[in-house]
Amino acid sequence: MFNLSNKITVITGGASGIGKAIALLFAKQGSTVHILDVDENANKIIDELNSSGGSCYLHNCDISQKSAVKEVVATITKDAPAIHILVNNAGIAHVGTLETTSEDDLARLFNVNVKGMYNCMHEIIPVMKKRGGCILNIGSVAAHVGIPDRFAYSMTKGAVAAMTLSVAKDYLQYNIRCNCISPARVHTPFVDGFLQKNFPGREKEMFEKLSKTQPIGRMGEPEEIAHLALYLCSDEASFLTGCDYLIDGGFVTLNN
C-alpha cells in the first residue's frame, strides 16, 4: 500500500519542516521528488534523500515569481513523462493584527502563500491534464478559527482552502484530485526560531505553553503530517477530492 513507484512529485518548500518530512517519505515510497526551495541549506536534504536510496532533485526557485516556476516546470518535464503529484507546501508566517500589518507585510505573505501556490498550479495543471494527477495544498487551522495576531497569515490560508475547492471542481473531469491538509502547531525549525527571537531565555516555558494550546497536549510532528500527505497522494485515496483535512490534536473541534 501507498506505493509511489514511477510517480514524479513536485514539493515546494521541501528543504525543511513539513516539506522535508513529506519529501523523505515520498522518496522512501518510491517517488522521484523535485524540491522547489530558496533555502540556502537545501542541498543537505538532497544529500540525505539520495544517500538513503531515494531519487531527489533540487531546484532553486522563488515560487512567487511566475517566470521562475515556469522555467523549473519546463526543466522537469523535459526529461519526465509527467508530473503525477504536486504538494504546495511552501509558506511564510506573520505575527500581527490588521492594524499592525503593513501593506508590505500583506503583499509579502500574499505573494508566497497565495500567488506562489497559484503559480505552481497554473504551470503544472496543464501537464497533469494529459494523464491525471494529485494536488495537495498545505493550509492551516487558521482558515477555520480566529487566532490572535495572525491576520495576514489567516487571510492567505483561507485563500488556500478556497483554491482547493475551486481546483477540485474545475479539474475533476481531467482526473485531477485536489485536497488540503490544515495542521495546527507543528514542531518545526520555524517554531524554534520564533521562540528564540521573541522569548529569549524563556524558550522551554513558551514551548510548553504553546504545546498545551492543543487539547491533545502537544504539538504535531512533521512526520505525522507527512503520513497523511502520503495517504492523500496515493492511489488508495483515489475517491477523495475537494476536502480539507484537519490534523490538529483537536484544536478546532475540542478547544472551546
Confidence at residue 43, expressed as pLDDT on a 0 to 100 scale: 80
**Residue ranges of the chain with per-residue pLDDT less than 70:** 52, 256
Confidence at residue 52, expressed as pLDDT on a 0 to 100 scale: 67
Confidence at residue 51, expressed as pLDDT on a 0 to 100 scale: 76
Confidence at residue 256, expressed as pLDDT on a 0 to 100 scale: 62
Confidence at residue 252, expressed as pLDDT on a 0 to 100 scale: 94
pTM: 0.95
C-beta of residue 167 within 8 angstroms of C-beta of residue 145 = no
Chain-centre distance of CA 3, in angstroms?
Answer: 20
Confidence at residue 46, expressed as pLDDT on a 0 to 100 scale: 83
pLDDT tens for 24-51 read 999 999 999 999 999 877 788 788 877 7
Confidence at residue 131, expressed as pLDDT on a 0 to 100 scale: 95
Confidence at residue 81, expressed as pLDDT on a 0 to 100 scale: 83
Catalytic residues: 153
The amino acid occupying position 47 is: D
Sorted by where each starts, the structural domains of the chain and their CATH numbers stand as: 8-184+222-249 (3.40.50.720), 187-219 (no CATH)
Confidence at residue 89, expressed as pLDDT on a 0 to 100 scale: 98
